[in-house]
Structure 1
Amino acid sequence: MRPETSTWTPPPTDPEQPRQMRRILRLFRPYRGRLALVGVLVGASSLVSVATPFLLREILDTAIPQGRTGLLSLLALGMIASAVVTSVFGVLQTLISTTVGQRVMHDLRTAVYDRLQRMSLAFFTRTRTGEVQSRIANDIGGMQATVTSTATSLVSNLTSVVATVVAMLALDWRLTVVSLLLLPVFVAVSRRVGRERKKIATERQKQMAVMAATVTESLSVSGILLGRTMGRADSLTRSFAEESDDLVDLEVRSNMAGRWRMSVISVVMAAMPAVIYWAAGLALHFGGPAVSIGTLVAFVSLQQGLFRPTVSLLSTGVQIQTSLALFQRIFEYLDLPIDITEPEKPVRLAEVKGDVRFENVAFRYDESGTPILQGIDAEVPAGGSLAVVGPTGSGKSTLSYLVPRLYEVTGGSVTLDGVDVRDLDFDTLARGIGVVSQETYLFHASVADNLRFAKPEATDEELVAAATAAQIHDHITSLPDGYDTVVGERGHRFSGGEKQRLAIARTILRDPPVLILDEATSALDTRTEHAVQEAIDALSANRTTITIAHRLSTIRAADQIVVLDGGLISERGSHEALLAQDGAYAALVRRDARMKPETDAPGTTDPASPRSGGGSGGSSTEAPVELEPTK
C-alpha cells in the first residue's frame, strides 16, 4: 500500500550526509580554478546589482527634486550599465558552471562504467542489465541540474542575499530587522521539505530502475520473440502499465511534497513590501524618525530583490537534499568491492606458450555456499586438448571460466605457463586466452566492426583470412553490403551457425594460444554443427584447447577427457580408455548414440537467405543429449 503523504513523518537527519557532502565536493576539486572564476563573476554581479537601488534613491531624493538633469542622466546611465554588466556576467558564469557540471557528470559516468568493467562475472549474473543501465542513465542524468546549475545557483544566491542584507542595513537597520524576522522559520520549513523529497526520490529512482530492466528484457529481440510465442504480450503491457502508474504516483508526490508550505513562504515574502510601508508609516505617525521616499523605495527594491534569491536559495537546499538520494545510489556502485583485481606487481608474459594446469582447484560462489568444484587436478600441455563432460550442474563451465579469471578460485590454483593466473596481468590473460561460447554476442554494428573488436588494427586482408578460416567469408561476400553489413541487435539478422562462425573468425583474428570452447555447437542442428566444427578444428590447430562438451562426438579426439560429477572428477582418460572402463562416460556415449538418428533427413539444407548457412532457427535433424546448458 502506498504511504499517505499527509501522515508521513520525516526521518531524522542522516548521519552519513556530511560525509556524502564532502565526497560530492571532491568531485569538483579538479575544476576549482574555473569555479573560483565563477565565484568572482558571481560576487561582482551581485555587487553591481545591489548598486541599482542606491542609484534609484539618489534619483528620487536628489536629482529629480533639485532638477539636476546632468546628475539624473549619469544615474540613469549607471542603472542601465548595471543591468548590462549583470547580464554579461550571468552569461559567462552560466557557460563556465555548465561546462564544469557536464565534466563532473562525465567523470561520474566514466568512473561507474570503469568500475563495472572491473566487476567479476558473478556480479552480472545476479544483477539485472536494466538496473545497471538505470544507474548510469537515470541516476546520473537526474543529477544534471544539481551538478550543472545548483552549485552556481547556491553561490550566486548566497552572495546576493548577503550583499542585499548588508545594503539594507546601510539604508535602515530597523526595517531590515522587520524584513528578516521570519527567515529562520523559512529555513526550517525548506529543510523539512528537502528530507521528504529525498525519501521519495530514492523510491522513484528504484522504480525507474525496475522499469528500465523491464524494457531492456522485454523489448529486446529475444524478449519480443519469447513474449509473442508465449502469448504474453498483453500481460507484459499490463505489467509495464502498472509499473508506470507507480512511477506517476511517485513523480506527483515528489513534485507536490511541501508545495503548500513553500507557497506560504512565497506569499509571506511577497507581502513584505506592504509590511515595510506599514512599519514606516507607523514609525512616522508615532513620532519616530522619518524615512525619505527615496530610502523607502530603495529599501523596498532591495527587499524585493532579496525575495528572489532567498526563495531560490531555499529551493536549492531542497534540490540538494533530493539529489543526495541520487548521489547515494551512484556511490553504492562506486563502492562495490572488486572481487578480481590485478596484483600490485603483475607478471607479464612476453609470449604465452599455452601450458594450463589445475592444481587442487576448489570454487564456491560465496563463503557459506555449496562447493561447485573441489579437488580438481588436471594438466593440459601447450598444444594439447582437454575435454570436460558431465551432467547438468557438475561445474563444467565454471571450471573453464577459472582459466581467464572470469571467476576466482577459492582453493588451489590455476596456472598458465607455470604462473598462477592470479599473478598475471590482465593483458596477458586477454592476449593468451580466447573463449568461444554457445551464446555468441555480436554488437549492433557491421560485420567488420564486430570482427575488429578482437583486433582494432586488423587490415581488410586479415579480416578476410580469419573469415575464410572460419568458413563464413563466402556468406559475408554474398550479402549486399559484404563486410559492411550491419548484423542487427545481438546479431539476430544471422543464423545461429553464422553467428558462431563469426565468433570463431573473431577469435582467429585475436590468435590466442589457449582456446576455451564452452558448448560452442550445442545449440546447432547436425548439418550446421558439422560446418561449425570444421571451423573450430581450424581454430584449434596448434593451440591448447579446453572443450566443454555437449555432444560427445565433438571431443573423441581429445588428448584427455575428464568427467565431472558433483564438482569432482569421477573419471579421466582418453575416449577409448574411458569406454573400456564402462563407467559414467561410456553411459553418456551410449545415451548419445541412442538419441542420434541413423541418417540425416534427406534433402536437409541450411535455412535460406538471409539466414543461409544454417542455424538454430531451422528444424534440427538431431535431438541432442541435454547434458548441461551453458553455465
Structure 2
Amino acid sequence: MKRILRLMLTAAGPYATQFRATLRVSLAATVLQAAAYACFVPLLAELTRDPVRTGRAWGWVALLAALVAAEGALRVREMAFTYDYWHLVTGSTRLRLGTALRAMPQQELNRRAAGDLTQVVGGNATTAATAISSLAALFVQLVTVPAVLGVVVLALDWRLGLVLAAGTLAALPLVRQVQRRSGSGFREVDEADGEAAARIVEYVQGLPVLKATGQAGADSPRLISVLHRQHHTQAATNRSAALPVAGAQLLVQLALVALVSLGAALALDARLAPATLLAVTVAAARFAEPLSLAAVMTKLFELSEAALARIDDVLSVPPLPVAAGGTPPTSFDIRFENVTFTYDGQSEPTLKDVHFTIPERSLTALVGPSGSGKTTITRLISRYADPQQGTVRIGGVDLASLAPDEVLRHIAVVFQDVYLFDDTIRANIALARPDATDTDIEAAARAAGIHDFIASLPERYDTRVGEIGSALSGGERQRISIARAFLKDAPVVLLDEPTAALDSTSETVVQEAIDRLVDGKTVIVIAHRLSTVVGTDQILVLEDGRITQHGTHSDLLTDSDGRYARMWTAQAAARHWQLPVTVARTEGREGTHA
C-alpha cells in the first residue's frame, strides 16, 4: 500500500493536501465504525443479564448511536472529496500529463505510440482519479475495521482471538499471491490495452491502404494479433487470481466457523458466557467481511496501481537539461562542432564527428542517401535531443543552455508531410502565433499564396479542414503550413523537402511561396531532387553520418567521382525515363480491343 499511496499522491498533484486530509478523515471514520461494533459487546452483555440493567443498556445504545452519527458526519466529509475533487483530479492529471508530454524530449516522445499515450491520458487518468477518490478510503476501511475488531475479540477471549488470528494469517499468503499475480497481470493488460489502442489509431489512419490491399475488416492482420493478445492477457490475469481469491475467502470463513464452534464448546462447558459468545460472533462476522472483500478488491487495487504506474512513468520522464548561463541568441548563424549523435536503442551513431557552419541569412541544402543523417541534423537544430559528443550552436549560443521551447521560438519548420488539425483554417494557421489578429492571419495566407483559395470557400477562414486536413489537397495543405511559418516569422527556417509529394502545378505555387518565406532568413533545406538546390549558397553532402563534400553546386560537379556528381547524373537520367516498350504495346492492344 505504501507504493500505491506514493503513486496516488503523485497523481493527486496539486490536490495531494486534500487527499491526505481525506485519508485522515476516512481513518477516523473507520475507527468510529469499529468502535460502534465493539459497543455491541457490553450492550449484549447487559441485555442478557438477569435482571437487565436498563440504564446501562440505554447508555451503551446512546454511545452506539453517537458513534454512528459521528462516523456518518465524517463519511460525508470523506465523500465530499469524491464529489468535489474527482473531476478536478482527473482534469489536473491530464493537464500535467500534457505538460509532461510537452517537456518530454522529442526522442522519448517519438518512442511512444500515439494510441498508447491516448490510453494513459484518457483511461489511466480516469482510473487514477477513481482510485484516489474512492479506493484509498475503501482500503483504509478494509484494514482498520478488522484491526480494531481483532483487538476487541482478543480482549474478550484470547482463545477465540487466536483462532481468528490464525485464520487471518493463513489467508495472508493467498492475498499476497493475488497481489503478485494481479500486479504483473494487470501491468500486462494495461500494456496490451495501450498497444491495441495504438494499433486501432494506426488502422483508422491507414484504412485506405488496408482497403486497397484487401486487409481491412475484423480479421485484419494489423488488428487481429493485438486484439488476441489483449483478450489473452485479460483472461489469463483473471484466471490466475481466481483460485487464490477463493482460497483466501474460504480460509476466513473457516476461521469464523472454527471460532463459533470453539465458543459454543466453551459456553456449553460453562467457561464462556453466552452473551460474550454472541458478542464475539457479531464482532468476528464483521471482522471477516472486509477480509473476504479485501481478497476480491486486491485485483481492483492492482489494476489501479498499474494505471497509476503508467501515469507516473510519463510524469517522471526528465526534460532535457538546461545548462546555466544561456541567453537567447541575437544572431542566427548555425554551427555544429564535432557532433556525434546516436539514437536510443541503436549501437551505431547516426552522425559521426560532424562539423560545419551555416552563415546567417544563407541558404544551405542537405543532400545524401536515405539514412545518411540529414533529418537528424535538423532535429538537433530544433533540440529534439542533445548530441552525445560535440556542441550545436545558434548565434554562438550552445543549445544545451536553452530550453527546447526557447530554441523553437526562433525556428519555423515546413515538413514534407503536413499535419493539420480537424479545425478551421484560421485555427490551423494561428497555431504559429495564438495571439495573431485576423489581419495577421490573412496577411500570412496572402504571402503563402493560399488566400484566394480560402476566399473562394463558402465559410472562408472558418472552413474546417477535416481530420489531418483530409478536405484539402496536398498543395493546399502545404501552403497553409507555409502560412503558419510566415505568421511565426522566425529567423531560422527548416524545410524538409516540402514540394516532394506535389504535382508540378502545386510545386510551382508552393515553391514561389517558399521563396518569399526564406527571404532574409537562415535556411536549411533537406533536398532529394537536386534540381531544387542548384542556387543555394552551399550544399552539404552526407554519407553514412559524415559530411563528405561541401560547396556550391558548380564546385561539387567538378569532382566527377564524388557522391554529388553521381547523384546529379543519376537524377538527370531518371528525368528521361519512359515506360518500357512492351508495356506501351500491351496498353495499345488493350485500347484497340476497347
TM-score class normalised by the smaller sequence: 0.7 to 0.9
Deviation (angstroms), 1:182: 1.1
Does 2:492 match 1:514?
Answer: yes
Does 2:361 match 1:383?
Answer: yes
2:168 counterpart residue number: 183
In terms of fraction of residues, the more helix-rich structure is 2
Does 2:454 match 1:476?
Answer: yes
Over 3 Å counting, the alpha-carbon distance change for 1:319 and 1:476 in structure 2 is same
Give distance in 2, aligned partners of 1:266 and 1:329: 30
| TM-score for both structures, normalised by structure 1 | 0.79
1:487 counterpart residue number: 465
8 Å contact 1:557–1:575 — kept in the other structure?
yes
Q: Could you report, residue by residue, the CA deviation over 1:141-194 in whole angstroms, capped at 9, with x for unpaired residues?
A: 554554333321222232222332333345444443343331110112211221
One of 321, 324, 327 as aligned partner of 1:347: 327
3-state SS, counterpart of residue 233 of structure 1 = coil
Over 3 Å counting, the alpha-carbon distance change for 1:23 and 1:35 in structure 2 is closer
One of 223, 226, 232 as aligned partner of 2:215: 232
2:581 counterpart residue number: none
The more displaced of 135-144 and 516-525 is 135-144
1:92 counterpart residue number: 77
1:283 counterpart residue number: 266
Deviation (angstroms), 1:593: 4.3
Over 3 Å counting, the alpha-carbon distance change for 1:85 and 1:481 in structure 2 is farther
Deviation (angstroms), 1:39: 2.0
The more displaced of 324-333 and 281-290 is 324-333
Over 3 Å counting, the alpha-carbon distance change for 1:275 and 1:121 in structure 2 is closer
Over 3 Å counting, the alpha-carbon distance change for 1:121 and 1:171 in structure 2 is closer
8 Å contact 2:323–2:400 — kept in the other structure?
yes
8 Å contact 2:41–2:280 — kept in the other structure?
no
Structure 2 counterpart of 1:285, one-letter code: L
Give distance in 2, aligned partners of 1:127 and 1:21: 24
Deviation (angstroms), 1:489: 1.7
Deviation (angstroms), 1:206: 2.6
Does 2:383 match 1:405?
Answer: yes
Give distance in 1, aligned partners of 2:84 and 2:222: 40
8 Å contact 1:387–1:560 — kept in the other structure?
yes
Give distance in 2, aligned partners of 1:258 and 1:152: 23
Structure 2 counterpart of 1:47, one-letter code: L
Deviation (angstroms), 1:419: 2.1
Deviation (angstroms), 1:215: 0.8
2:400 counterpart residue number: 422
8 Å contact 1:400–1:516 — kept in the other structure?
yes
Give distance in 2, aligned partners of 1:523 and 1:279: 85
Give distance in 2, aligned partners of 1:401 and 1:69: 85
Over 3 Å counting, the alpha-carbon distance change for 1:544 and 1:182 in structure 2 is same
Deviation (angstroms), 1:233: 1.1
Structure 2 counterpart of 1:185, one-letter code: A
1:435 counterpart residue number: 413
2:39 counterpart residue number: 54
3-state SS, counterpart of residue 386 of structure 1 = strand
3-state SS, counterpart of residue 535 of structure 2 = coil
2:240 counterpart residue number: 257
2:187 counterpart residue number: 202
Give distance in 1, aligned partners of 2:43 and 2:350: 86
Kindly report which structure 2 residues correspond to 1:558-597, keeping only aligned pairs within 5 A, or say none: 558-579=536-557, 584-596=563-575
8 Å contact 1:97–1:152 — kept in the other structure?
no
The more displaced of 34-43 and 223-232 is 34-43
Over 3 Å counting, the alpha-carbon distance change for 1:388 and 1:51 in structure 2 is closer
Give distance in 2, aligned partners of 1:570 and 1:280: 91
Over 3 Å counting, the alpha-carbon distance change for 1:155 and 1:23 in structure 2 is closer
Give distance in 1, aligned partners of 2:67 and 2:6: 38
Q: Could you report, residue by residue, the CA deviation over 1:516-570 in whole angstroms, capped at 9, with x for unpaired residues?
A: 1110111111110000011111111111212222333332332223333344444
2:335 counterpart residue number: 357
Deviation (angstroms), 1:506: 0.5
Give distance in 2, aligned partners of 1:170 and 1:43: 21
Does 2:226 match 1:243?
Answer: yes
The more displaced of 492-501 and 124-133 is 124-133
Over 3 Å counting, the alpha-carbon distance change for 1:459 and 1:41 in structure 2 is same
Give distance in 2, aligned partners of 1:274 and 1:125: 58
Over 3 Å counting, the alpha-carbon distance change for 1:236 and 1:333 in structure 2 is farther
8 Å contact 2:166–2:255 — kept in the other structure?
no
Structure 1 counterpart of 2:249, one-letter code: S
Deviation (angstroms), 1:262: 2.9
One of 454, 477, 480 as aligned partner of 1:499: 477
Over 3 Å counting, the alpha-carbon distance change for 1:319 and 1:98 in structure 2 is farther
Q: Could you report, residue by residue, the CA deviation over 1:324-381 in whole angstroms, capped at 9, with x for unpaired residues?
A: 555555555455565x4322332223xx432223344444436974443445444333
Structure 2 counterpart of 1:473, one-letter code: H
Kindly report which structure 2 residues correspond to 1:330-345, keeping only aligned pairs within 5 A, or say none: 330-334=311-315, 336=317, 340-345=320-325
Give distance in 2, aligned partners of 1:357 and 1:278: 86
The more displaced of 540-549 and 31-40 is 31-40
Q: Could you report, residue by residue, the CA deviation over 1:396-449 in whole angstroms, capped at 9, with x for unpaired residues?
A: 222233322224334443322222323334344212111111011112222222
Over 3 Å counting, the alpha-carbon distance change for 1:269 and 1:214 in structure 2 is same
Deviation (angstroms), 1:79: 5.5
Over 3 Å counting, the alpha-carbon distance change for 1:279 and 1:130 in structure 2 is same
2:442 counterpart residue number: 464
Structure 1 counterpart of 2:173, one-letter code: A
Q: CA RMSD in A?
A: 3.7
Over 3 Å counting, the alpha-carbon distance change for 1:87 and 1:464 in structure 2 is same
Structure 2 counterpart of 1:196, one-letter code: R
Over 3 Å counting, the alpha-carbon distance change for 1:307 and 1:354 in structure 2 is same
3-state SS, counterpart of residue 90 of structure 1 = helix
Structure 2 counterpart of 1:158, one-letter code: V
Structure 2 counterpart of 1:160, one-letter code: V
Q: Percent identity?
A: 29
Give distance in 2, aligned partners of 1:364 and 1:53: 66
Structure 2 counterpart of 1:301, one-letter code: V
3-state SS, counterpart of residue 409 of structure 2 = helix
Q: How many residues align?
A: 574
The more displaced of 52-61 and 175-184 is 52-61
1:557 counterpart residue number: 535
Deviation (angstroms), 1:594: 4.3
Give distance in 2, aligned partners of 1:472 and 1:406: 30
3-state SS, counterpart of residue 391 of structure 1 = coil
Deviation (angstroms), 1:73: 7.5
Could you list the runs of 5+ residues in structure 2 that have no partner in the other structure? 578-594
3-state SS, counterpart of residue 412 of structure 2 = strand
Q: Could you report, residue by residue, the CA deviation over 1:232-278 in whole angstroms, capped at 9, with x for unpaired residues?
A: 11485355244323323322332343434433443554566665554
Over 3 Å counting, the alpha-carbon distance change for 1:51 and 1:539 in structure 2 is same
Give distance in 2, aligned partners of 1:179 and 1:580: 93
Structure 2 counterpart of 1:24, one-letter code: L
Give distance in 1, aligned partners of 2:6 and 2:254: 40
Q: Could you report, residue by residue, the CA deviation over 1:304-328 in whole angstroms, capped at 9, with x for unpaired residues?
A: 2212222234445555455555555
8 Å contact 1:348–1:425 — kept in the other structure?
no
2:137 counterpart residue number: 152
Structure 1 counterpart of 2:132, one-letter code: V
Structure 1 counterpart of 2:172, one-letter code: V
Structure 2 counterpart of 1:214, one-letter code: R
Structure 1 counterpart of 2:426, one-letter code: A
Q: Could you report, residue by residue, the CA deviation over 1:209-243 in whole angstroms, capped at 9, with x for unpaired residues?
A: 321221121112xx112111222114853552443
Give distance in 1, aligned partners of 2:264 and 2:340: 88
3-state SS, counterpart of residue 457 of structure 1 = coil
Structure 1 counterpart of 2:282, one-letter code: S
1:622 counterpart residue number: none
Give distance in 2, aligned partners of 1:438 and 1:566: 22
3-state SS, counterpart of residue 312 of structure 1 = helix
3-state SS, counterpart of residue 379 of structure 1 = strand
Over 3 Å counting, the alpha-carbon distance change for 1:536 and 1:60 in structure 2 is same
